[in-house]
Amino acid sequence: MTPNLQMLKVMSAQPLPSTAPHFLCEFKLPVLSSPGAARQVFMAESDASNFFSQKRRSRRSPKSYAEVQAEQRMKRAASERRREYNEEQRDEYENYLEEDRDEVNERSRETNEQLREYHYDGLYPRFYWFH
């Protein structure tokens, strides 16, 4: 029996021996309360042997419908996230521009009012005397 199949057939939460490879030493098994729970958590030997030897689709063969659908779902989710992010950025920038314009308009209005007060000679409105 190959080491991979032995690893999948572990049925108890016994600590691993110190002679086990390093990656197995860090692998923590769940504490199982009953043998029935072990059957639910771990796969059967027949499934375990098929797990590592499943045939993969070759590069040039067509994708299955499920693969295409999964790919499309991922693309749609990514484009939705990108659209929301861009919308949020645009809204923030528009708010910033609006505040900035308001500030600039307020400053220029104040400046014009001050100049008008400074240069006021009592002859307003001017267009009555200069036409």
Summarize pLDDT for 49-80 with one digit per residue, the tens: 776 766 777 888 888 999 999 999 999 999 99
The pLDDT tens digits for 11-56 are: 444 555 555 444 444 445 555 566 666 556 677 777 777 767 667 7
Confidence of residue 93 (pLDDT cuts 50, 70, 90): very high
Question: Mean pLDDT over residues 100-109, rounded?
Answer: 92
Question: Could you tell me which residue, 47 or 96, shows the higher pLDDT?
Answer: 96
Give the CA angle between residues 111, 100, 120 to the nearest 5°.
10
pTM: 0.41
Confidence of residue 112 (pLDDT cuts 50, 70, 90): confident
Confidence of residue 85 (pLDDT cuts 50, 70, 90): very high
